[in-house]
Amino acid sequence: MAGQLTKLLITPVDMDCNMACKYCYNGSSWQPRTTPDRVISIDTIYKIFDEIGPLLKSESLVVVWHGGEPMLAGKDFYREMVAAQRRATNGRYKVSHCMQTNGTLVDAEWVELFGQLYIGPSVSIDGPAHLHDAVRVFLDGAPTYDLSMRAYRALQERGIDPGLLVVISQTNVKSPGAIWEWVLEQQFPHFDFLLCIEPELWRESKQVFGLSSDEATEFSIRLFDLWFAHGDPDIRVRTFRDAIKSQIGGHVSVCSWKAGCAEHLSFDASGNAFPCSRYHCYPETCMGNIHAMSLQDILHTPTAQWVVQGIQAGQARCDGCKWKKNCGSGCPFLKYALNGAWDSPYVHCRTRQALFEHIRERIFQAVPVSA
């Protein structure tokens, strides 16, 4: 293994979805389609896994299936996908499959399939029913909370430990207390939260569901205080663990906290390669197509070089920041998408700095830690 890749992201049906979450398609050129326009072919899957081996950093690869709603690709697709992956991999390296899903399509057969194929699901639920159903709805506006929760529980009952991702938008940003109470009531062992930004609307100062920097900061600090005051280390909040670990030298998991882009590669349903799935709506960042050139060549196209140089320029911009080694310089995609320039400010910069300062005060005040 002589490469640098550790994670592959694949959108098997691109942005097609059986739901129409208001922050997702709001102001976006994408429209949800309940019947996939296109499903990635098994031939494409085979080519990707056949060629990626020599480009890996170690003998293991994490693959994240997401979308849109990746379950729209269907049960047979995942059976065939795993068979093709095993044929292509042929024992050369280990593959761990994960999936980010809204959970509404999960039935007993899907639950079994996740177990049989060793696909680790994470369910998106935005807090208690009244907060979740205000924004995460079907195309006809019908609520989805009960179905998403039912999926989470069914997976748990099968012995699967699902992830939980809570998007923080205008709908629930003022409700950290309600979200925390819900976490305790439902006895979720771990979760993470994602601060909503609507890139296309942000550029015109017209966000509807996306957060301002002040809102994101206030929410993050308040939720941290609730978590910290509760004092149960067995409830794991990934963002807080990463923020703490970054100060004590532990392993940080989220890409944007560790300048992790270089380890990622993403494919859309047509086999187009991007630096990360977040760029799929930005065709100028497409590095090539797996059916037109080798993966090795894709990573060396002029576009790939441009992206790498851009990411490095964004990281260099943070050179004077005392939190750089903790922060990892943030997410390059958001720098590019919001400002049209890689070396521009990171939208969650102030939130991160405030969180680092706050954690230092709350946790490390008795033990000096160098930044």
Residues near ligand SF4 (CB under 6 A) are: 255-256, 260-261, 264, 276, 278, 318, 321, 323-324, 327, 329-333, 346, 349, 352-353
Amino acid code (one letter) for 355? L
For residue 23, the minimal CB distance to ligand SF4 (Å) is 17
Of the candidates 217, 279, 299, the residue with the CA atom closest to the CA atom of residue 51: 299
Shorter beta-carbon distance to ligand SF4: residue 178 or 254 = 254
In whole angstroms, give the CA distance from residue 355 to residue 217.
Answer: 7
In whole angstroms, give the CA distance from residue 302 to residue 308.
Answer: 10
Q: How many residues does the chain have?
A: 371
Say if CB 183 and CB 126 are below 8 A apart.
no
Of the candidates 280, 192, 271, 174, the residue with the CA atom closest to the CA atom of residue 237: 192
For residue 303, the minimal CB distance to ligand SF4 (Å) is 15
SS3 at position 56: strand
Phi, psi for residue 245 in degrees, rounded to 5: -60, -35
For residue 78, the minimal CB distance to ligand SF4 (Å) is 24
Shorter beta-carbon distance to ligand SF4: residue 281 or 349 = 349
Classify residue 321 by its DSSP letter: -
Shorter beta-carbon distance to ligand SF4: residue 183 or 307 = 307
In whole angstroms, give the CA distance from residue 184 to residue 332.
Answer: 34
For residue 185, the minimal CB distance to ligand SF4 (Å) is 31
Shorter beta-carbon distance to ligand SF4: residue 5 or 48 = 5
For residue 95, the minimal CB distance to ligand SF4 (Å) is 19
For residue 82, the minimal CB distance to ligand SF4 (Å) is 24
For residue 188, the minimal CB distance to ligand SF4 (Å) is 23
Cis peptide before 53 (omega within 30 of 0): no
Shorter beta-carbon distance to ligand SF4: residue 23 or 188 = 23
Shorter beta-carbon distance to ligand SF4: residue 41 or 212 = 212
| Strand ranges, E, within the chain | 7-10, 60-65, 94-101, 119-124, 163-168, 190-195, 236-237, 264-267, 272-274, 288-289
Shorter beta-carbon distance to ligand SF4: residue 271 or 330 = 330
SS3 at position 158: coil
For residue 369, the minimal CB distance to ligand SF4 (Å) is 16
Shorter beta-carbon distance to ligand SF4: residue 66 or 352 = 352
Shorter beta-carbon distance to ligand SF4: residue 136 or 264 = 264
How far apart, in Å, are the Cα atoms of 229 and each of 225, 232, 363?
6, 9, 11
In whole angstroms, give the CA distance from residue 85 to residue 49.
Answer: 6
Shorter beta-carbon distance to ligand SF4: residue 32 or 260 = 260
First-to-last C-alpha distance (Å) of the chain: 33
In whole angstroms, give the CA distance from residue 206 to residue 316.
Answer: 30
Phi, psi for residue 288 in degrees, rounded to 5: 150, 175
Owner of token pair 């494919």: 267
For residue 272, the minimal CB distance to ligand SF4 (Å) is 16
For residue 260, the minimal CB distance to ligand SF4 (Å) is 6
Interacting residues of 185 by C-beta distance below 8 A, sequence separation 6+: none
